[in-house]
Chains A and B, each alone.
Chain A
Amino acid sequence: MGYRAFGDLVLPPVLDTFVMFFLYLNDPEVLTNMDITMKRIFLGLSLSIFLASLLGVVAGLVKPISYMLSPIITIMLGMPSIAWIVLAMIWFGMGNSTVIFVVFIATFPIIFLGSFAGMQSIDKELLIMADSFKLSLKTKLLNIYFPHIFSFIFPAWLTAIGLSWKIVIMAELLSSDDGIGSLLAIARSQIDTTSVMALLMLMVSLLIILERVVLDSIKQRLEAWRK
């Protein structure tokens, strides 16, 4: 429809996009760039998932730390991602570290808040029970805190993953000469709408695969007790 109304500069024919998409799947250059992008997402996200989840737990256990962190988190939440990209370009220059840093810093507050909210909503009566048996901190963490905060932290992880997908493209487009984002920048400068669409399709399909196959099975396993 859009293609009929506005021509192929605005919206390319669906068939062309699919053809390009499958061509890309066999194109070593695109695959290398995809690999680079995925590695950046992976690094930035893992760092943020690990540190932010951990810090959320610590802040939930130790009140003063939560008071200390709360203004910082608010600032991080309020900062536009594009501002982080600009700052990161100044601090780290063009390339890998800038992209990874931006993915990390943009997803950090979301995960932290998920983890912290989980820690705060924990059933105090269960904690009194644990204390009455004088359970160690390790046993409490593994059996009470972690299973409980999972239902808070998991949606936060999902949001963070979705966000990282968007951020990485933006950061690469502006500050990197490799990765899917930079391919997008090239396609844009050549006004090659078909390639733009095919690249977007590539990114979105990867996200769908990750979410449906990997994350859903983790969730099913860990939340079996709810059924």
Chain B
Amino acid sequence: MEKIIVDKISHSFDGTTMIFSNVSFTFHKGSIVSILGASGSGKTTILQICAEILKQTEGKVQNSFKKSSFVFQESRLLPWQNVIENISLVLKDTLLSKKEIIKKSQEIALLFGLNEEDFKKYPKDLSGGMKQRVSFARALVVEPTLLFLDEPFSGLDIKLKEELYTILLKKVNKGDLGIIFITHDIMESVILSDEVLIIKIGSQGSTITDRHRFNLKYEQRDNEFVYQNMLMLADRFKR
């Protein structure tokens, strides 16, 4: 089973002030964990360390996932490349032929609700929601088994959010994908996670102060469930 074990990691950018310390969690493929915390609590840094973009100051991260990818809060598309070029960028280092790369990119673009007439558009001609669709398509075209999400849903309308949730949950339910995502939106964590880690800012930097596991399947989570658990989490978040 592909998994990631985060063992007591701490990080400091300047060597004196800790951004966070003593953060530990374990995470398996086929599940979703959300890290819930206020802005400035070092969530993004934790995620970037898990994704090996940054190196932690202390602690260990064991990652046995074969392929991971990242979706950011902003779409981070290359302004000089069109939709398909932006998606296919991340396949350039693979052994696939040019034709296969284009074909895969087009298929995934369609899956994420982009139309064929959008394929040749440059990012500046796309709306915020469309850009984020492209960003998701780019992350999933590499067929990751682990997906890092850095608040990619903030600023999107509810309809698009739900559309994206559905696509992601389908992959997770099939057991093909695990997701670690960070958010400050409590509702998002209730809808979209097996386990919520609550991170709070303390004197030694931030750390995980509380965690909660939801046992109900995603498709069984109705409004009532979401509402109840939001209240519960909000209460624990304030404590």
Contacts and interface: CB of A to CB of B under 8 A. Distances in A.
A125 B74 contact: yes
Contacts of B70: 129, 132-133
Contacts, number: 48
A136 interface: yes
Contacts of A135: 89-90, 92-93
Contacts of A128: 48, 53, 76
Given A147-B78, A147-B80, A133 B90 contact: yes
A192 to B, nearest CB: 51
A-side interface size class: 10 to 19
Given A126-B78, A147-B78, A225-B122, A139 B72 contact: no
A36 interface: no
Interface residues of B, number: 21
Contacts of B80: 147-148, 225
Interface in B81-109: 81-82, 89-90, 92-93
Contacts of B69: 132-133
B51 A139 contact: no
Contacts of B51: 132
Nearest to A147: B80
Contacts of B74: 125
Interface of B: 48, 51, 53, 69-70, 72, 74, 76, 78-82, 89-90, 92-93, 122, 124, 142, 148
Interface of A: 125-126, 128-129, 131-136, 139, 143-144, 147-148, 225
